[in-house]
Amino acid sequence: MQSYAEGPVTEGDRPLGMYVHVPFCSVRCGYCDFNTYTADELGEGATRATYASSAIAEVRRAAEVLGRRPVETVFFGGGTPTQLPADDLVRVLRALDEHLGLAPDAEVTTEANPDSVTPASLARLREGGFTRISFGMQSAVPHVLATLDRTHDPARVPQAVRWAREAGFEQVSVDLIYGTPGESVDDWRTTLDATVALEPDHVSAYALIVEDGTAFARKVRRGEVVMPDDDETADKYLLADAVLSEAGLGWYELSNWARDADARCRHNLLYWHGADWWGVGPGAHSHLAGRRWWNVKHPAAYAQRLERGESVEAGSEVVDAAGRRLEQVMLELRLREGLALDALDAAGRAEVPDLRDRGLLLGDERLVLTLEGRLLADAVVRQLTP
Ligand SMILES: C[S@@+](CC[C@H](N)C(=O)[O-])C[C@H]1O[C@@H](n2cnc3c(N)ncnc32)[C@H](O)[C@@H]1O
Ligand code: SF4
């Protein structure tokens, strides 16, 4: 397997996505363990002002490995990419185009917190080549937002979505979280109704995960907040699917709904199909033809290594055939288009009739989860990969 610095990888037929991690947030949400830093946490040796230049230095290194290979999708995530000036994000996007080359119809997404954009910043991003924006809405209910430490006023979301439309964004998505302590089923319905009223092209809705080591996990451990039971979380998933489907947003992945096939997030589809992607930025992960690697985590170490002309790779692994098969089952079974039956080994195929009889799976050549199966997806994957 070719390593990071060994020259062009000739895998021209596999679609390529670029991820750009922006590790800054104004406030850390208690539940989040992403690699992100507030101004207080950042310390010496890295600043927001120089971040775009560091990221561009990694883009140049990526081009040495990849050669010119059309980039089908670009995704700026975080952290909060829109904590950086729009001009900085556009500079990084230009560098990707200059050094690697964007495909003519490339999908270019940025994540954004609703209170980190203005009409002017959105217009600049759109004119600079961004086509898609994903707002971290999470909830429309103030007490739920407060439990999540989210800083925006719920009224800011419709405003930000309107600004994005006025700026000409082709695709507008919102991220939701359900299962926050204290969130009633009615609260969740309020959030879903508010979401539908935004007429988004795409919605992601994830159950809140208690991540070890976070402030939120400590509160759960101390009993200050109580997580809902699995039945309530399942009911909220069913409600989400019913309300979003009724509004014309169909599921295409377990936690993702889209207006139509064009509104699906092509970047995430590329991950879920095991394509190639390069993650730029501290702590970012990459995958090229079965080899994975990850970058040094801290922005200061990342910037210093690039300044010295060194690799930012911190570690790597080659996933073996068994690992790749397990991943393929886990990821593709979550998709509406389903998992090809021949991706399973003989022992997995032998389990299919039982899962069909229990109403969890449909299909012959491609296996697709039923609604009931979507609620039990992890258990279905375990049964198919004995
Ligand atoms: C890491 S954030 C980056 C974008 C932006 N800063 C935001 O918060 O919307 C991407 C998404 O991950 C979600 N997320 C982070 N930690 C999570 C957790 N513990 N459980 C569920 N969703 C989580 C966030 O709520 C957000 O919708
Ligand atoms: S959820 Fe988003 S805004 Fe909150 S800390 Fe994580 S990356 Fe930052």
Residues having CB closer than 6 A to ligand 1 are 31-32, 34, 77-78, 80, 111, 113, 136, 138, 175, 177, 206, 208-209, 211
> Which ligand is nearest to the Cα of residue 149, counting in written order?
2
pLDDT at 228: 97
Q: 257 and 348 in one domain?
A: no
Q: 59 and 201 in one domain?
A: yes
Residue 203 sits in a domain whose CATH number is 3.20.20.70
Please report whether residue 380 resides in a domain: yes
3-state SS track over the chain: CCCCCCCCCCCCCCCEEEEEEECECCCCCCCCCCCCECHHHHCCCCCHHHHHHHHHHHHHHHHHHHCCCCEEEEEEEECCHHHCCHHHHHHHHHHHHHHCCEEEEEEEEEEECHHHCCHHHHHHHHHCCCCEEEEEEECCCHHHHHHCCCCCCCCHHHHHHHHHHHHCCCEEEEEEEECCCCCCHHHHHHHHHHHHHCCCCEEEEEECCCCCCCHHHHHHHCCCCCCCCHHHHHHHHHHHHHHHHHCCCEEEECCEEECCHHHCCHHHHHHHCCCEEEEECCCCEEEECCEEEEECCCHHHHHHHHHCCCCCEEEEEECCHHHHHHHHHHHHCCECCCEEHHHCCHHHHHHHHHHHHCCCEECCCEEEECHHHHHCHHHHHHHHCC
Q: 204 and 331 in one domain?
A: no
Please report whether residue 90 resides in a domain: yes
Ligand 1 centroid – CA 209 distance (Å): 10
> Which ligand is nearest to the Cα of residue 37, counting in written order?
2
Q: Whose CA is nearest to atom 7 of ligand 1?
A: 136
Q: 167 and 56 in one domain?
A: yes
Please report whether residue 300 resides in a domain: no
Q: 156 and 49 in one domain?
A: yes
> Which ligand is nearest to the Cα of residue 28, counting in written order?
2
Q: 263 and 372 in one domain?
A: no
Q: Which of 239, 272, 305 is the last residue of a domain?
A: 272
Q: Whose CA is nearest to atom 9 of ligand 1?
A: 136
Ligand 1 centroid – CA 32 distance (Å): 6
Q: What atom of ligand 1 comes closest to residue 176's alpha carbon? A: 27
User: By residue range, what is the domain housing residue 376?
Assistant: 322-384
Ligand 2 centroid – CA 386 distance (Å): 36
Q: 122 and 50 in one domain?
A: yes
pLDDT at 12: 52
- pTM of the predicted model over 0.85: yes
Q: What is the pLDDT of residues 73-92, one digit of tens each?
A: 999 999 999 999 999 999 99
**How many domains does one find in the chain?**
2
Please report whether residue 98 resides in a domain: yes
Q: Whose CA is nearest to atom 24 of ligand 1?
A: 136
Please report whether residue 175 resides in a domain: yes
Question: Residue 2's pLDDT band (boundaries 50, 70, 90)?
Answer: very low
Residue 364 has pLDDT above 70, yes or no: yes
